[in-house]
Amino acid sequence: MKKLLLLVACCFPALAAAAPVALTVHDYPSGDGPAELVSFGVPFKPGELTQLSNVRVLDGAAEVPIGIKSLATWALDGSIRVALVQFPAPFTGATKGFTLDTGTARTTTDRTLVPVSWRLPRKIATLPASHLSASLVMWEQKPLGQTGYTAWEQKQTQQFSVLNTEPVASTPCARTDQYYDSANSSYGIYVRTGGLQYLISGRRWAHHHGRHQILLSGANTGHGNCTGGYVNNTRYTFVDSLVRDYFFWGDEESLRVAGLVVDNFYMPHADSWYYKAPNTRGFWTEREAAFAQLGLVAYYEATGNASYLDRARARFHSLHRMQGDNGNRAWVHNLYDHDPSEGCGETDYGSSSFMSGLLFESLIRYHKLTCDPVAAESLRFALDDLRQVNVATGAYAGQSLIYLGCPSTNTDYRDGNPDLDNLSAHAWAYAYRLSGFTRTSDRDFAQALFNTSVSEGFVGAPKQFNQAFRDSGNFVGYLDPNVAGLRSCTASPTDGGTSGGDGGSDAGTGSPDGGGSGGNDAGTGSPDGGGGEEEPGGEESGCGCGSAGSLSAVAWGLLCLGLLRRNRRL
């Protein structure tokens, strides 16, 4: 009984209603939706919203009738992850403010929802960066102006003009106009700013991708609308952005197209992309696995269908076996066969730093959702190996990664590649978070890569801009212990799927730590998190309820009571 009372005291912190959220509705005359209808997706962090009936829109003190439905839920606790909200806003002028409240039951009669059949509404609602960043809609983020990285903030906003263009429908392959996903980058800056232009840009690129750059029928349904062998490259299909587009706009067509890609391209993707035996020849690249895995995980997030997470899990375990069979390294393969023109020798085996960075992105997303200790170990193997063999020794020595791990035969690979460093820096930042913010060598190396990319990297074209900013927002979030993640993996049961286990993840807060290392835009020196190295399958400490900052008090209480019942059965 004492244990039960202690558990309840630990897991039910003081209840506090969610603060109202300010909405700004913008008049957008060039939109093609209904004249006065506001229609938008509202993301919520885990545990924040459990009943749609508690969502209200206020015009001053007056409640506005709304239409509403859930677009996705958090598998962790069943709370609502994203809700589609529609309401009329017949005003004149450029903007008008409304309030979104989730603390009181709605009293108005609900409107019938209008299916989203337009590209952009005539009235567009934007949410504040504070709410968007905390919602985890694009995982750990910090609002611009609060990051401590002024040069990084300025670079993404000042150079945004390279993405802020109207896509051309006659450009069918993403390789040509938005390589590495302009929708993703645009939506990321929207989350960090709440800015209208970034939201519109994300919609333009995602709508273009789903309508013109994916084959919607025929033998190659779900593949990129590209010529020759490129039609079979996963890197020209962006399911992650189609899912985010569905979250931000409630567009069922974006989700449908995402499903076509996943079911027809990613699910039957060849097993050879997830295991390459040691010392074997033939083309292989981390990037081909990366986009398929990211798409499977993202589609699971949108649908809750565990079969997609299970397929991703099996493949991550195969990739882990590939690492183990090569001596617990990164994903080692023949570098000459990747592309003979890139200068590696026929007997050169190693890894690509930046294609590994893309694979890190999907691996980390999977780990957040499952706490699978295999994923944590896979990340550790690859990070330690790349840092040992793929770090520049010429220009940017120790502060940048080389393109391919074959410096013995190509002296070009002594120098680093600042344009590409932020495709990988986030992984060392996440590893620092996994250590409970104690493994400062990971933090400092992540910071060095980030600094080099910010000060030296070129971002004047879409491909390079997307390389620099698709994951660097997460880098900033990972390094700050005050930015809550989904949960503490050492304290929560496995989420979704049919197998897996516990591993280390987001720790709580503790004593102050020094932040990032020196150089351009050094770290902010925010408080350090408690906890130790990840211990898959280890004992849970304290209350065992994880980071209460990432879930509501009620959700954590229910979760912890469930853990107690499970422990009694065991």
Q: What is the pLDDT of residue 322?
A: 98
pLDDT surpasses 70 at 258: yes
Q: What is the pLDDT of residue 408?
A: 79
Tokens for 531?
Answer: 């906890």
Q: What is the pLDDT of residue 410?
A: 87
Q: Is 502 left (phi over 0), alpha (psi -120 to 50) or beta?
A: beta
Q: Which helix (H) or strand (E) is 308 found in, with range?
A: helix 306-325
How do residues 365-379 score in pLDDT, each as one tens digit? 999 999 999 999 999
Categorize the per-residue pLDDT at 90 as very low, low, confident or very high, splitting at 50, 70 and 90. very high
pLDDT surpasses 70 at 140: yes
Q: Are strands 123-126 and 21-27 parallel, antiparallel or unpaired?
A: antiparallel
Query: Percent of the chain at pLDDT above 90?
Result: 81
Taken in order of first residue, the domains within the chain and their CATH numbers are 21-127 (no CATH), 169-257 (no CATH), 269-539 (1.50.10)
Task: With CA atoms as reference, report the closest residue to 511 among 532, 525, 528.
Answer: 528
Place of tokens 């993202």: 298
Q: What is the mean pLDDT of residues 248-266?
A: 98
How do residues 430-483 score in pLDDT, each as one tens digit? 999 999 999 999 999 999 999 999 999 999 999 999 999 999 999 999 999 999
| Dihedral of alpha carbons 7, 10, 16, 19, sign | negative
Q: Residue 565 contacts by C-beta under 8 Å, 6 or more apart in sequence?
A: none
Q: What is the mean pLDDT of residues 489-516?
A: 37
Rounded to whole angstroms, the Cα distance separating 402 from 389 reads 9
Q: What is the pLDDT of residue 222?
A: 98
Look up the pTM and report it.
0.86
Task: With CA atoms as reference, report the closest residue to 404 among 416, 422, 394, 419.
Answer: 416
Cβ neighbours of 183 (radius 10 Å): 30
Q: What is the pLDDT of residue 407?
A: 83
Write down how long the chain is.
570
Mean pLDDT computed over every residue of the chain: 87
* Amino acid code (one letter) for 337: D
How do residues 439-449 score in pLDDT, each as one tens digit? 999 999 999 99
Is residue 189 a contact partner of residue 157, using CB atoms and an 8 Å limit? yes
Q: What is the mean pLDDT of residues 104-108?
A: 96
Place of tokens 């299909």: 237
- φ, ψ at 242 (rounded to 5°): -65, -35
DSSP label at residue 185:
H
Categorize the per-residue pLDDT at 515 as very low, low, confident or very high, splitting at 50, 70 and 90. very low
Q: Where are the alpha helices (DSSP H) in 391-457?
A: 425-434, 440-456
Burial of residue 527 (number of CB atoms within 10 Å: 0-12, 13-18, 19+): middle
The order of strands in the sheet holding 95-101 is 62-64, 56-59, 95-101, 21-27, 123-126, 37-43, 80-88, 67-73
pLDDT surpasses 90 at 71: yes
Task: With CA atoms as reference, report the closest residue to 262 among 284, 242, 287.
Answer: 242
Q: What is the pLDDT of residue 17?
A: 58
Helices and strands in the chain, H and E counts:
18, 10
How do residues 354-405 score in pLDDT, each as one tens digit? 999 999 999 999 999 999 999 999 999 999 999 999 999 999 999 999 999 9
